[in-house]
Structure 1
């Protein structure tokens, strides 16, 4: 009889523990939902929550094939201005990868200007926070990422549709193939300049004032687009082809983070 009481007591404790655990989990989920709706963080004095902008970032899946997620409010306005401020004095004509040599060359395919942050700048606190946020939301280790590139597209500038994964063997040796891209928008008041995915969706979209088949994402300051160049089968996804539509007015500023299969060197 005493043995039954012990077993019953243990089962009661386990049940109570499960109920308490479930209540805590529901409370946490409720906080996430409230933060997402109100935009006010409930993680006061939580440094990790501040770095990740919990309660502010709102993910929106717009396509599963290719995989594309819009992350609303991914960067703060201050972070956007900070990246632009670092980049402005060092902008130069953008290049594309030469499939024969693996080196960057000038091309009429891409007409923007840009620069890469240095390894030293990667250690700055604001950059470290952005790097960690990219890593957590993409689920790719920080060390697998290339240095952040900041770009400026002025009126009539564009980037024709292309793939981010490599077609040469030179770049693959330095960290493997590119698997994902985080594209962050740093400016507002831009007409045109959408990020265009011709193989996504089944409808039509606007791209630099034109109506085209596919999907496009309007550049909104602070928002980001996470898309995958590699499919779930581990192979490069040809449907991930994308481009930067022509800017009709204003300046489009963006920052790009490419992520690799292994540690990027």
Structure 2
């Protein structure tokens, strides 16, 4: 004969079960508040992310909605607009910097960024430069512009490369700028790329007028084509100093995990395939020409599409894998 329970006991047990259930239902949301990571079953992870999306409002829903059923962690903060990222950054910066190591920084560096591609590694830093600094660099370069040149490979001739690069440009460094703007740009770029200023080459400032372009190319110097190299250009930062009314995109013809399959048939003057970035004044675009193991990333092939209307001003900073200014 089974044991029976009184009505009050049953009521108490039901109430306790309800309270426990509510408590367990709340627990998955705790990592969101503490910005930590938590190992949860996939179904639980989906619940966490769905709630996080609902709490962050419409803008966040647009960004995170695509991942709402993927089981991805809901603790990674993402933003749909630059302003949202900036406001969040200001909140984070209320925490004072910790004591750095001997060679570290005693300050924070804040800059929103967007990963544009993993193949090749490509990161956009929107609003890296303000309008005044952009105009200062353009003014410095204007009086020194000359037809852009190319480093010749062993198999190249002047006639063969005549139409490869048609812009005008000049090299300038922080030592040419008493106002310190270029030094400021270099220091900030060093923080974001985690590479000392001494690894960077001088700025190559370029102006593209209507019809001018730069065929797709690599920034590295392959020893078999250019001879032995003391160091290699591992990364490039493009600082866009102006908007472009039409044309002038930076194109990556082989972008994508399977992009190298297109290389045998690629037209180096083409802007019809791959990924194109439309210049916006103040943005900085970082991409890597080398993999982490030091080998060349063939997907880093890139070029400047012809300007159709307006002017394109860009400052290029090449970053070496070894000290360049030592």
User: TM-score, structure 2 length as denominator?
Assistant: 0.61
1:140 aligns with 2:215: no
Aligned residue number for residue 85 of structure 1: 139
Distance 1:253 1:200 in 2: 24
Question: Cα offset for 1:129?
Answer: 1.1
Question: Cα offset for 1:122?
Answer: 5.9
Distance 1:155 1:249 in 2: 6
Question: Cα offset for 1:89?
Answer: 0.5
> Could you say what secondary structure the match of 2:139 adopts?
helix
Distance 1:48 1:85 in 2: 31
Aligned residue number for residue 69 of structure 1: 123
Question: Cα offset for 1:58?
Answer: 2.1
Distance 1:92 1:211, change over 3 A: closer
Distance 1:214 1:35 in 2: 25
Question: Cα offset for 1:78?
Answer: 1.0
> Could you say what secondary structure the match of 1:231 adopts?
coil
Aligned residue number for residue 11 of structure 1: none
Moved more, 230-239 or 86-95: 230-239
Of the candidates 111, 114, 136, which is equivalent to residue 60 of structure 1?
114
User: TM-score, structure 1 length as denominator?
Assistant: 0.74
Distance 2:116 2:82 in 1: 22
Aligned residue number for residue 111 of structure 1: 166
Instruction: Structure 1: state its 5+ residue gaps.
Output: 1-21, 204-209
Question: Cα offset for 1:35?
Answer: 8.9
* 8 Å CA contact 1:101, 1:170 repeated in 2: no
> Could you say what secondary structure the match of 1:85 adopts?
helix
Please list every run of at least 4 consecutive aligned residues from structure 1 whose deviation after the TM superposition is greater than 6 angstroms: 22-25, 32-35
- Larger gyration radius, structure 1 or structure 2: 2
| RMSD, aligned α-carbons | 3.5
Question: Cα offset for 1:172?
Answer: 2.0
Question: Cα offset for 1:23?
Answer: 7.5
Moved more, 241-250 or 189-198: 189-198
Aligned residue number for residue 286 of structure 2: 226
Question: Cα offset for 1:127?
Answer: 1.3
Task: For CA contacts below 8 A with separation 6 or more, give which structure has more relative contact order.
Answer: 1
Instruction: Structure 2: state its 5+ residue gaps.
Output: 1-32, 37-74, 98-105, 259-269
Question: Cα offset for 1:189?
Answer: 3.9
Number of residue pairs matched? 227
Deviation string 1:122-171 (CA, Å, 9 cap, x unpaired) is: 67422111001111111111100000111000000000000000124557
